[in-house]
Chain A
Amino acid sequence: QKEVEQNSGPLSVPEGAIASLNCTYSDRGSQSFFWYRQYSGKSPELIMFIYSNGDKEDGRFTAQLNKASQYVSLLIRDSQPSDSATYLCAVKVVDSSYKLIFGSGTRLLVRP
């Protein structure tokens, strides 16, 4: 059973701090990784995707991938109260072109 694990939180950080969200996955051959943000009562929206080991930056967001450790993370710099949401990690199944496994999400709370 392929799995994607996230700490459910809530992760509470003060405004302006760096929020660090973590995700581990069980399928060693996975190649594609995604971070989605979901506000309460809304649908998920894609923030970032990453395919290669290392860091990928997009504005205040940085995705980090370590395939050897089967670990992917999302850093949010200068956190804002509007970043308060649930962040979902998703991993594409190796033997499928369109099958994603989602983690249960980490709830982030940014305190003003």
Chain B
Amino acid sequence: EAQVTQNPRYLITVTGKKLTVTCSQNMNHEYMSWYRQDPGLGLRQIYYSMNVEVTDKGDVPEGYKVSRKEKRNFPLILESPSPNQTSLYFCASSLGGDTQYFGPGTRLTVL
């Protein structure tokens, strides 16, 4: 089954404790992206990647890192999480940059 998977789905952590949210797709898509969704603000792009080792900043990259060492994986790293990074995070992938397939989401709470 073609899908985008994210782990964990739910995470509660404390300020400053490094964490990684994994994202994997099995559709051989070149493009992958991370979004955060907050009430009233909609989906905002954090980082995106056009291919292995090629990444670029979205609209809200501060406090986040990404890497794309393999085509299928695009982890999101929060080196020192803060409460304002409490949000719902979505990973998405796309073959040609238009039709995006979203993962199930990761709900992160930073205390």
Contact = CB atoms under 8 A, between A and B. Distances in A.
A binds B: yes
Interface string A76-112: 0000000000001010100011111111110000000
Interface string B24-59: 000000010101000011111100101000001011
B102 A8 contact: no
Given A44-B102, A97-B50, A98-B50, A104 B42 contact: yes
A38 to B, nearest CB: 9
B73 interface: no
* Chain A: number of interface residues, binned into ranges: 20 to 34
Interface residues of B, number: 24
Contact of B33 (A34, A45, A98): A98
Contacts of B48: 98-99
Given A34-B98, A98-B31, A98-B48, A43 B90 contact: yes
A100 B45 contact: yes
Interface of A: 8, 32, 34, 42-46, 49, 88, 90, 92, 96-105
Interface of B: 31, 33, 35, 40-45, 48, 50, 56, 58-59, 90, 94, 97-100, 102-105
21 contacts: A8-B40, A32-B98, A43-B90, A43-B104, A46-B100, A49-B98, A49-B99, A90-B43, A96-B56, A97-B97, A98-B48, A98-B97, A99-B48, A100-B33, A100-B45, A100-B100, A101-B45, A103-B42, A104-B40, A104-B42, A105-B42
